[in-house]
Amino acid sequence: MAFECIEKGYKATVCGIDSSVLPAECLGMPYSHRFLERLPEAADPCGENGEFHTFVSDGPIFNSSVKYSEDGQDDSLAPFLTLRLLES
C-alpha cells in the first residue's frame, strides 16, 4: 500500500514522528521510496502504529496541490515531534 500511494503520484511530507522509533531527521522528509527504505524493520511503512504521520499535499484526486510552507518543529509533546505547517 505504501509503495502504491507513491507510485500513483501522491505527494506527502512526514509531519510527525515518534522519535523513540525514528530519528529526528525523518521529520520533514518527503514520503518516498527513500524514506521507506530508512524505516527500521519493526516500523509499519504506513505508520499504522503511530511511528509517523504525513500531510498529503497533492495526488490524482486533488484538483490542485495544497500550497504550504514549513515553520520549524514542535517538540512540546516529546518524544513526538511535529512539523509546523503554514498555508501559503
Q: pLDDT band at 22, cuts 50/70/90?
A: very high
Give the count of alpha carbons within 13 A of 80, CB side only.
Answer: 10
Mean pLDDT of 24-51: 96
Q: pLDDT band at 1, cuts 50/70/90?
A: confident
Measure the CA–CA gap between 40 and 16, rounded to whole angstroms: 16
For residues 87 and 67, the answer to whether their CB atoms sit within 8 Å is yes
